[in-house]
Amino acid sequence: MRCTSKPRLADRAHLRTFRQEYGRKARAGLLLHTGRTIEWLTPDVLAVPWWTVS
């Protein structure tokens, strides 16, 4: 695990592997980061600041 304020496509690698293994059983991945932006990195991975999740 690594901590970043600017998530990149490479940061979604483990989420992608997990979703490939579990297929339709897994929903879109949530990538938490230390920055301020909320953005879809890919159609199935949403990057959000960790402090916005409660």
Give 35's Cβ-side CA count (13 Å radius): 12
Q: Is the pLDDT of residue 1 over 70?
A: no
Task: Provide the terminal-to-terminal Cα distance of the chain, rounded to the nearest Å.
Answer: 20
pTM here is: 0.80
Q: What is the pLDDT of residues 23-34, one digit of tens each?
A: 889 888 999 999
Q: What is the pLDDT of residues 4-53, one digit of tens each?
A: 888 888 888 888 889 889 988 988 899 999 999 999 999 989 999 999 98
